[in-house]
Chain A
Amino acid sequence: MPTVNDFLLILPEVVLLIWALLILLIDLWIPDTKKYYTAVLSAAGLVISAGCAFALLGRTGSAFSNMVVLDGFSSVLSILFLLSGLAAVALAYDYLKRNAAQRGEYYTLLLFSIAGMMLMASANDLIMVFLSLELLSIPLYILAGFFRPRLASEEAALKYFLLGAFSSAILLFGIAWIYGSTGHTDFPGIVASIDGGRANYLLLLIGAGLLLVGFGFKIGVFPFHMWVPDTYQGSPSSIGAFMTVATKAAGFAALLRVFLVLFPAEAPIMAGILWGLSAASMIFGNTVAIAQMNMKRLLAYSSIANAGYILMAFVPYGNPVIAQEAVSSALFYLLAYALTSFGAWAVMIALEPAESDGLLLQDFSGLGRKYPWLGAALLISMLSFIGVPLTMGFWGKFYLFKTAVDGSQIPLVLIGLLTSLVSAYYYLRIVMFAYFKPGEPQIQPGRWASVVAVICAAGIFVLSFIPTPVFQFAAQMIMGMK
Chain B
Amino acid sequence: MYSVADLKKGLKITLDGAPYLVIAFDFVKPGKGQALYRTKMRNMINGTILDRTYRSGETFEPASLEERQMEYLYKEGNHYTLMDQQTYEQVIMEEEAMGDAKNYLLENMKVDVLLYGEKAIGITLPNFVNVRVIQTDPWAKGDTSGNDSKPATIETGYVLRVPPFIEENELITIDTRTGEYSTRVKG
Q: Do A and B come from one complex?
A: no
Query: Which residues of A pack against B, CB within 8 Å?
Result: none
Query: Which residues of B pack against A, CB within 8 Å?
Result: none
